């Protein structure tokens, strides 16, 4: 395999054009260098800010260089795909610095509802991104016989935001999200690693956040101890997605209130000025599915037969939480909502959940019922409570 510098430059242009033609909204090339934020990652882990995400520690050293993903890597094509809902982008803008949807307490006659983060409302982004990266890899191998290429999105030990910045796709904001001046921060990232020495694009060196601190101030749980640093122990998204047991105090882990979120949280993005004018995403698959567009009726959700809930979750990234995690979250949201609506939590919760075959669901339901009767739940989950069924 031999490609001269002129042809490499033309190839890089072609490759980025192919990526945009497949529906990605941004594409740029980064050099395969040591990850620039690796020391910060190690310090973040050492301070315990990953909470229960032990997989990050297991792969911490591998994140130091993209060679851990492709040993012969020379350059990386970074891509981004917007998942911003088109109807939201077309709607009248909310006042600057306000969440994109009302956060007022529900009406006294309302059924409790929960919100789903925008990224999880459409089809599972892993499948959407991987499919296109596979096509890009095949195109590159056909274009340059002997070329090596591997596409990854989210699941490989590659610090995608750092390399997206090196590829010129945007800067890393105070809320730790990659932000682009046109597309904002509602984007998925993917990478195509190759052994071809493609000329890199100019890295994004300018921080356009300026003195704005809206994201830091809007977080209701104080998950940002300082600009650009997220403490997962205080993050709603961690507790509703990544935490695997009941929401009970355990060591230095003290559960946070869900603040209306069933799965994930978008508050620090909703208030970002760069998301106000961002257009809706290009790819149809990343647009919200009908059943996940509106806030979710929690009474309906917890009453769904497991097979029906699994059917509704299957196309989305919410399968990560499984039924056990999602129903656990819904139970906590019902308790939270009952501070504002008429009736007791027990009135909105099927009594059968206290005897649910999933130990995490039953433990959470019993803890809620005990709390409603003035009994404080135990401070640590039992061994059985810490496990969830595979359903």
Residues, the chain: 391
Cβ proximity of 118 and 266 under 8 Å: yes
Q: For this structure, is 154 an active site residue?
A: yes
Helix (H) or strand (E) holding 88: helix 86-90
Question: 254 is written with which tokens?
Answer: 């003290």
CB neighbour list of residue 80: distance below 8 Å, 6 or more residues apart: 24, 25, 26, 27, 164, 169, 170, 178, 180, 183, 187, 188, 189, 190
Q: Residue 78 forms beta bridges with which residues?
A: 28, 191
Distance CA 16, CA 29 (A): 8
Instruction: Return phi, psi of residue 179, to 5°.
Output: -120, 135
Helix (H) or strand (E) holding 179: strand 178-179
Distance CA 171, CA 270 (A): 17
Scored b (16 or more CB within 10 A) or e, 261-299 reads bbbbbbbbbbbbbbbbebebbbbebbbbeeebeeebebb
**Among 25, 39, 124, 154, which one carries the catalytic annotation?**
154
Give just the sign of the alpha carbon dihedral 269, 49, 255, 212.
negative
Q: Describe the crossing of helices 322-337 and 306-313 by its angle, rounded to 10 degrees.
A: 100
Instruction: Return phi, psi of residue 61, to 5°.
Output: -70, -35
Q: Residue 229 forms beta bridges with which residues?
A: 226
Cβ proximity of 261 and 78 under 8 Å: no
Instruction: Return phi, psi of residue 295, to 5°.
Output: -55, 145
Question: 231 is written with which tokens?
Answer: 């403490």
Q: Describe the crossing of helices 5-21 and 125-143 by its angle, rounded to 10 degrees.
A: 150
Residue 149: count of CB within 10 angstroms of its CB:
22
Annotated active-site positions, please? Answer: 154
């Amino acid at each position: 395999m031999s490609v001269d510098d002129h042809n490499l430059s033309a190839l890089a242009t072609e490759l980025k054009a192919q990526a945009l033609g497949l529906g990605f909204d941004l594409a740029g090339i980064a050099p395969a260098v040591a990850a620039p934020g690796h020391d910060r990652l190690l310090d973040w882990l050492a301070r315990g800010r990953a909470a229960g995400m032990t997989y990050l520690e297991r792969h911490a050293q591998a994140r130091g260089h993209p060679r851990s993903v492709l040993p012969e890597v020379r350059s990386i094509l970074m891509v981004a795909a917007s998942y911003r809902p088109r109807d939201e982008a077309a709607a009248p803008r909310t006042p600057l610095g306000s969440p994109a949807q009302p956060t007022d307490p529900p009406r006294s006659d309302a059924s409790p509802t929960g919100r789903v983060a925008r990224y999880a409302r459409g089809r599972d982004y892993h499948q959407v991104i991987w499919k296109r990266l596979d096509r890009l890899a095949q195109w590159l191998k056909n274009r340059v016989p002997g070329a090596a290429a591997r596409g990854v999105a989210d699941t490989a030990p590659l610090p995608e935001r750092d390399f997206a910045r090196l590829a010129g796709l945007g800067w890393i904001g105070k809320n730790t999200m990659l932000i682009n001046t046109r597309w904002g921060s509602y984007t998925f990232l993917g990478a195509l690693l190759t052994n071809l020495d493609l000329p890199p694009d100019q890295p994004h060196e300018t921080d356009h956040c300026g003195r704005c601190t809206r994201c830091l101030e809007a977080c209701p749980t104080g998950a940002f101890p300082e600009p650009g640093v997220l403490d997962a122990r205080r993050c709603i998204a961690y507790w509703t997605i990544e935490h695997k047991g009941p929401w009970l105090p355990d060591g230095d882990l003290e559960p946070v209130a869900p603040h209306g979120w069933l799965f994930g949280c978008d508050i620090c993005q909703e208030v970002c000025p760069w998301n106000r004018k961002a257009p809706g995403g290009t790819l149809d698959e990343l647009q919200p599915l009908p059943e996940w567009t509106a806030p979710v009726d929690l009474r309906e959700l917890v009453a769904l037969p497991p097979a029906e809930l699994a059917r509704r979750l299957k196309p989305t990234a919410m399968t990560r939480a499984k039924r056990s995690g999602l129903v656990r979250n819904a139970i906590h949201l019902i308790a939270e909502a009952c501070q504002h609506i008429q009736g007791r939590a027990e009135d909105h919760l099927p009594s059968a959940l206290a005897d649910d075959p999933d130990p995490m669901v039953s433990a959470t339901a019993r803890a809620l019922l005990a709390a409603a009767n003035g009994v404080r739940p135990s401070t640590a989950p039992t061994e059985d409570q810490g496990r969830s069924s595979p359903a």
